[in-house]
Structure 1
Amino acid sequence: MGLLTIIKKQKLKDKELRCLVLGLDNSGKSTVVDWALSTYKDKPRQPVTPTVGFQIHTLPYGGHNIQIWDIGGQSTLRPYWDNYFDKTDVLLWIIDIAAAARVGESVSELEVILRNRDRLGYSCRIIVLLNKKDLVDNPTEAIDAMKQRLDEILKLENIPVEVKATDALSGHGLEELMPTIVGRGKRFGGLESTSGPLG
């Protein structure tokens, strides 16, 4: 293999981003992915069914090829999530804020992942989408409470997390998602914590 071929392959690799989409089942992960594909690849919106296992999509954006890994969120699949952590550049965590009874479960699962940052990688950026805001009676209050809760969990950990309220069906709140994933957009306005381990 010649030097020019190696350099070319490295340049292509440098432009690849791996985005892992996780969250509980029925949080809207596949709907977020479907919105991105329809918006940036002109694919028609599809009826969304629960993801069993995983789906991989490649989305060109801003000179990058973004590999989107949409992983099923059923409780039986969660023990296998860490099999997908290697070489992840961005973790996109989706929370259904309309399902009040499951918000705690979702936050706990995220906390477990963040406690094991050595598996996910310390350079991996975290984006949290508070999805289905259109189904919440007082979305501002619910969103503020959720941000405060995440802040309390992360205050002992040096983990920058960006948080945004969204409605994946309409795409409201997702306008800056892809620029944020490639690191060029306006920050969603997330949480900055100090240092030290969770525990």
Structure 2
Amino acid sequence: MKSAAALLYSSLFLAPALLLSGVGWAQTPPALEPGERVRVHRLDAQSVVGQVERVQDDTLFLIAESRARTMTVPLHSVSRLDVQRRRTRGQGAWHWAKGGFVVGAVAGAVTCSADVERCRESSGMNDAEILLGSALFVGGGLAFIGAVGGAMFPGNYWEGVPVPAQVSLTPVGNAGFRLSATWKF
């Protein structure tokens, strides 16, 4: 009786796993174009950067930068996938302006706080106004410089590509099966 219940429970558990494991369905590969630069993070904690050669049903073929040959990466072993994208001039200007403002504001506040007595005497403002004014002035200047530089040289960034949910069922010697699942939420 107990073995029949165990068989029933295990079959109810294994049937969906087999259907979802790729044995029953072909998984949708990520939308990648040949020639795109990608960064692949695998489940075994290794990562590789390279150019996409092609994507088949369950395998990514890429030319790794560390090796001058095609490398095959099974999609079931991928935990994260990033594609390198180029910023537009506007995105580059905004990105570097934010950094310039933060650095400038901190530098302006620190520089002014070192000589606040002289600033107070010459301006007639209180300490908070002096610190805020110098932070905004220096921060605004560096934000402008960052925006101009970012518009001229926008740079690149990594964008995550959704990896399909994966369930795999693999035999483990004579001991049975190993069920593993990977998904993002």
Q: Tell me the TM-score normalized by structure 2.
A: 0.28
Q: Tell me the TM-score normalized by structure 1.
A: 0.27
Structure with greater proportional helix content: 2
- Which structure has more relative contact order (CA 8 Å, sep 6+)? It is 2
Structure with greater proportional strand content: 2
